[in-house]
Structure 1
Amino acid sequence: MRRFTDGFYGYAVALFVCLAGAGLFLLVTPQSREEHIPRLDYSITVANFGHEVPYGVWAPRQDPPGWVPNSNRIAKGENGAQVLHLGYATAKREHAMFAQSDEQPAAGFASRMANTDKAMGTQQVGGVTWEKRFREDKDQRTLVRFLPEVTLVITGTADWDELAQFAAQLHQRPQG
């Protein structure tokens, strides 16, 4: 019996037993082939943000088809301004983020969210003009809308059509 626990044969048997156990474990463990992106409800975050800012909050009427909201938070921006962030996995499984703030200067907020200060034209979405920005090294596209009391930014690796699809869903909720 000592022959199976000493030397090379003992090592080989122990290795075989470990590999067989791991293989059996992998064989009987359920494996999902479906993608799972966690869905996070942002309605309470948006409501809380609305109580903290002196303007009507912008939010989507509904999420675009196939988009999954997967993050949300309220952060402090420059000069103590509040910033609302809503993160998404788009229908094409790219990343998109919506941010809004009354941070001043507004151009500084937009540049920080877009990772660039260079505009490359405009895009019309539902009769509203959005400024377009693109940062090539990050493959980051951004739509920016400057309003008198708030700046809206939609940014991410999503294509222009997806960003515009989200912009079309935005509406301002009553202040409160």
Structure 2
Amino acid sequence: MRRFTQGFYGYAVALFVCLAGAGLFLLVTPQSREEHIPRLDYSITVANFGHTVPYGVWAPQADPANWVPNSNRIAEGENGAKVLYLGYATAARQHAMFAQSDERPAAGFASRMANTDKAAGSQQVGGVAWERRFREDKNQRSLVRVLPDVTLVITGTADWTELGELAARLQQRPKG
């Protein structure tokens, strides 16, 4: 009995017992191979945001097909302005975020959200021109639209087509 508790054989037996235990644990533990992205409803956040700002809130009429809304929040921006953030995992499983605020100056808010102040052209979405911004080192694309009462920014690692898809679904909800 002593030879199994000392020397090389003891080490080998202990190692075998540990590996067998780990293998048994992995065998009986349920495993999922499916991706799981938590889906968060943003309707209450959008409604609450609408009660705190003096303009009609912009929000997607419906989410793009196979997109998963996975984050939403209201935050305070510069000069006490409120900011609404809606985050998504796109159909291509990239990240996209929609942000809006009446923060002034609008250029400062747009530059902070896009991580750059340099325009990279424009993109037509539903007959409306959105300014494109691109930050190469972060692989971040942004669409910016400055309106008289609010600035809209759609940004993320999603490609221009996907960002445009979200922009096309935005509609302003009446104040009230």
After TM superposition, the score normalised by the length of structure 2 is: 0.97
SS of aligned partner of 1:143: strand
Aligned to 1:162: 162
Moved more, 2-11 or 34-43: 2-11
Q: How does 1:1-176 map to 2 (within 5 A)?
A: 1-176=1-176
Aligned length: 176
Letter in 2 for 1:79: N
Rounded to whole Å, the distance in 2 between the matches of 1:117 and 1:157 is 17
SS of aligned partner of 1:132: strand
Rounded to whole Å, the distance in 1 between the matches of 2:8 and 2:139 is 54
Cα-to-partner distance string for 1:97-144 (whole Å, 9 max, x where unaligned): 000000010000000000000012211111111111111111111100
Letter in 2 for 1:138: K
Deviation at 1:33, TM superposition (A): 1.3
SS of aligned partner of 2:131: strand
Letter in 1 for 2:111: S
SS of aligned partner of 2:96: strand
Rounded to whole Å, the distance in 1 between the matches of 2:14 and 2:52 is 63
Rounded to whole Å, the distance in 2 between the matches of 1:44 and 1:122 is 32
Task: Determine what percentage of the aligned residue pairs are the same residue.
Answer: 85
Could you tell me which runs of 5 or more consecutive residues in structure 2 were left unpaired when the two chains were aligned: none
Rounded to whole Å, the distance in 2 between the matches of 1:55 and 1:151 is 11
After TM superposition, the score normalised by the length of structure 1 is: 0.97
Instruction: Supply the RMSD in Å over aligned alpha carbons.
Output: 1.0
Rounded to whole Å, the distance in 2 between the matches of 1:48 and 1:159 is 30
Could you tell me which runs of 5 or more consecutive residues in structure 1 were left unpaired when the two chains were aligned: none
